[in-house]
Amino acid sequence: MRTWRKNNKCQDCGISIDHGARKYCRQCYLKKHVNGKENSHYKNGATLIQHYCKECSNQISLSGFGKTGICRDCASKKRTGENSSNWKGGVTKKQYYCKECNEKIGIQSALRGSGLCRSCGKTGERNHYWKAGRKRIQKYCKDCNKPISYASIRCKSCAKKGAGSPAWRGGVTTLYKRIRELTEYFQWRSDIFKRDNWTCQTCNKKSEADIIAHHIKPFSELLQEFLKEHSQYSTFEDKAILTRLAKKWKPFWEAEGITLCKKCHELTENYGWKQFNIIREAEKIMQEA
């Protein structure tokens, strides 16, 4: 770093200099640093001469002219194509196509690979999941005729219906709904609502929409007793016969009931999934016995 010197003098003529960081006055500095031939670094005016490319005649710098005499564009052209040291007869510029579908492919798959595109290279016997043509055989669902895979027999939706469902109980669910949709069942509900004046018997909430006729003895137990009496009929094939018999079976329509609102109904012991668990436990006890 330059140091600031007070009362500095020119090293040649001894005149005092105002700028303390300089060694020479202005006149001595111009004598030592002159332009042109008087300068010690003069090189026959090479920096003033305009130089041009030998091939395209574009103006280039002195450094570029001294090395090759051509511009950068002309030098890159000489390094590409047939002038390149890695030239292989224009193989990379050539377009290659798949042998089967005529789609464009790369040079590696064309020269070193199978000559096929990705989709054609994984079809038929070339696929590692190939199983002697079985994959091409189209199978259909037995119930709805939807196209399915080779290993399955039914589609996913049909496989979980009826006896294929893990919750299958011999068609009891549809019979359960049919009995609850009878006119006798709606009459039984309305009689209970009229008797209790459309009022919840637990919280005394009065409403005509938010109330339910709750069975004191669970409806599922009544249904099991009904099926035991008519065990000669199938719950799946003889649904129509069982619904006609249910109309005349008095325990369905003389069962004790009570009016409850939805919240109070959910708190009962035989509500929904609670009753389902009770039935499951009873079945387990029967199997163990």
pLDDT of residue 113: 82
Which tokens is 131 given?
Answer: 């199983």
- Contact predicate 119/101, CB 8 Å: yes
CB 132 within 8 Å of CB 110: no
- For residue 278, what pLDDT is reported? 60
Residue 11's pLDDT is: 78
Q: Quick check: 119 and 135 in contact, CB under 8 A?
A: no
Whether the Cβ atoms of residue 205 and residue 260 lie closer than 8 Å to each other: no
Tokens of 179: 């009995």
pLDDT in the model for residue 121: 83
Q: What are phi and psi of 55, to 5 degrees?
A: -105, -50
Predicted local confidence at residue 128, as pLDDT: 74
Cβ density class 188-203: b for 16+ within 10 Å, e for less: bbeebbeebebbbebe
4 Cβ neighbours under 8 A, 6+ residues apart: 20, 21
Selection from 242, 251, 256 nearest residue 201 by Cα? 256
pLDDT given at position 136: 59
- What is the predicted pLDDT for the residue at 238? 83
Q: What is the DSSP string of the chain?
A: -PPP-TT-B-TTT--B-SSTT-SS-HHHHHHHS--GGGSTT--TTTTTS-EE-TTT--EE-HHHHHHTSS-HHHHHHHHSGGGSTT--SSTTTS-EE-TTT--EE-HHHHHTS-S--TTGGGSGGGSTT--TTGGGS-EE-TTT--EE-SS-SS-HHHHTSGGGSTT--SSHHHHHHHHHTSHHHHHHHHHHHHHTTTB-TTT--B-SSSEEEEESS-HHHHHHHHHHHTTTS-TTT-HHHHHHHHHH-HHHHS--EEEEEHHHHHTSTTSTHHHHHHHHHHHHHHHH-
Instruction: Count CB neighbours of 210 within 10 A.
Output: 14
Bridge pairing between strands 139-140 and 147-148: antiparallel
Q: What is the pTM of this model?
A: 0.40
Per-residue confidence (pLDDT) for residue 275, from 0 to 100: 62
Q: What is the pLDDT along the chain (289 residues), one digit of tens a residue?
A: 455 555 678 877 888 877 656 777 877 777 766 666 666 666 676 666 777 888 888 887 766 666 677 888 888 777 777 777 777 776 667 788 898 888 888 888 888 888 888 888 888 777 777 776 665 567 888 888 888 877 778 888 887 777 777 666 666 667 878 888 889 999 999 999 999 999 999 898 888 788 889 988 888 888 888 888 888 888 777 888 888 899 989 988 988 999 999 888 888 877 766 666 665 665 565 556 5
The answer to whether 259 and 198 have CB atoms below 8 angstroms apart is yes
Cα dihedral sign, 38-40-44-50:
negative
Supply the pLDDT for residue 234.
82
User: Degrees (nearest 5) of the Cα angle 264, 265, 270?
Assistant: 130
- Sketch the domain layout of the chain as residue ranges: 96-126, 138-164, 172-288
